[in-house]
Amino acid sequence: MPNRNLNLILLGPPGGGKGTQGERLQEDLELPYYATGDILRAAVRDQTEIGKAAKEYMDRGDLVPDDVIIGVIAERLESGEADHGFILDGFPRTVPQAEALDRKLSELGRQLTAVVLIDVSDEEIVHRLSGRRVCVDAGHVYHVDFNPPATEGVCDIDGSELIVRDDDEPEVVRHRLVQYHEKTAPLVDFYRKQALLNRVDGSQDPDRVGESVRSLISTFSLEEGS
């Protein structure tokens, strides 16, 4: 049964498990799950006004400005599909984006329920991502420790070669983490000051992380209903 008025943000480093938990919450709570990249691509595909603006930047290889991203999010929030709440993943990434989101929600007479930070150490993230292997033909994903193929370097499903993606190389992962911390540390503080931030230990296995997140959600649901 849908949970009314649960407006949630998932924060965490790349490879921290936001996508896994977001998809589980989407199913459990029957709420729309918005990963920023996905909804940008959908807006471009559907040729909405904001999508057309975003496409111009994306075609040039430029970063999509905050006001355009906010517009894409606003289209979804105003569409009616998020009337019972939403789960945001990958947005906001910076304090200015968070402030813009607050303004848009205020215009709609809504506010955030909570921000869930899935906290994982940098070394754990490097281990997770640098251990990933992807088959060149169909993109099937393995991990040298958590989900190894039957034969090293060979996809179990289609027999194609398994490779390390460029953005999973350890030095690249560490660079991505530096950028994440530079942008997200102020954002964590921003939401802490609003008493919205909730930390979950993301170093646990996904099922345990999911239990912790659902436990938090139950608390939010009770507060919304009181």
Tell me how far apart the alpha carbons of residues 175 and 215 are, in angstroms, rounded to a whole number.
Answer: 33
Q: Is residue 60 annotated as a catalytic residue, yes or no?
A: no
Contacts of 74 (CB under 8 A, 6+ apart): 50, 104
Token pair listed for 16: 């921290």
176 is catalytic: yes
Q: Tell me if residue 132 is catalytic.
A: yes
Distance in angstroms (rounded) separating the CA atoms of residues 147 and 151 = 12
* Residue 74 near residue 92 (C-beta atoms within 8 A): no
Looking at the chain, which runs of residues are DSSP E strands? 6-11, 33-35, 85-89, 114-119, 132-135, 141-143, 162-163, 197-201
| 165 noted as active-site residue | yes
Catalytic annotation, pick one of 24, 55, 128, 132: 132
Helices H, strands E: what count in the chain?
A: 8, 8
Indicate the SS3 state at residue 19. Answer: helix
Out of 76, 93, 104, 183, which one is annotated catalytic?
93
Active site residues: 18, 93, 132, 165, 176
